[in-house]
Copies of this chain bind each other. A is one copy, B any other.
Amino acid sequence: MHPLDGATQLERLSADRLAGRTSPLYANLGGPFGGWTAAILMRAVLDDPRRQGAPVALTVNYCAAIADGGFEISCRERRTGKSTQHWSLELTQGERVAATASVVCGARRAVWTHHPATPPVIPPPENLPMFDAGGRSAWVEQYEFRFERGVIAFGGRGSKELQAPDSLLWMRDRPERPLDFVSLAALSDAFFIRAFVVRDQLVPVGTITLTTHFHTDEAGLATQGSHYLLGYATAHTFSGGFADQAAQLWGKNGLLATSTQVVWYRE
């Protein structure tokens, strides 16, 4: 079993409730990697027998640190229409709400299609070095990252000058794993925090909300398989303790997902 599948297993308690456990493999400082949280909430909807269509949008609100150990997820179908289906979720530990989320599903159809955006230019993956965090972060070990630009200084401050806010890289699960909506949800949060890139150092931060829009369906995921994704992330503003991030994830046949998030930073 792939580490991501082992780390996102859920046990069904009732029609609307599931139980799971955190995994040390996807640990971050002070709780799990936010992409893992996105992935397990996505898993809850994907596994639900009431689901119709494929995920189109996911919003995760990170309310509180998730403690190591067990948790429950409530997964409520709120509305199923002709074209879309809406889900509301909460991840709780006892009385504490650690995350809220919404998922929208929809069925893509053979209608007018148009792709005005074009992917950034990047050398092939084999021409870029594999990122090595030196074992400092569990979740980072679960990914291959090959940066063209916007890499972070994991082991200390690299530069005293502010850097550009964008990163361009190849990324995929390690070991390789055929792409699905669980891994795509996780990958949409797998860009390093923009404040780390701009300030070229690690500073106290936490993602507080993540929204990912999916632009493909199961057929598109099957075409992608376990090929590298081309990732691009940037930030517009770091303002009074809250920063944004906007990201694109491109596959071999086009745009797979776009994602935005807000990150709290302390200083």
Identify the A interface with B (CB < 8 A).
Answer: 56-57, 59, 61, 63-64, 78-79, 81, 83-84, 86, 88, 90, 96-98, 100, 102, 104, 106-117, 162, 164-165, 198-199, 206, 208-209, 211, 213, 215-217, 234-242, 244, 246, 248, 254-255, 258, 260, 262, 264-267
Copies in the complex: 2
Identify whether the interface residues of A are mostly helix, strand, loop, or mixed. strand
Q: How far is the CB of A50 from chain B (nearest CB, A)?
A: 15
Q: How far is the CA of A266 from the CA of B260 in the complex (A)?
A: 26
Cβ-defined contact, A63 with B78, below 8 A: yes
Cβ-defined contact, A239 with B108, below 8 A: yes
Cβ-defined contact, B104 with A78, below 8 A: no
Q: How far is the CB of A210 from chain B (nearest CB, A)?
A: 10
Q: How far is the CA of A203 from the CA of B174 in the complex (A)?
A: 43
Cβ-defined contact, A198 with B114, below 8 A: yes
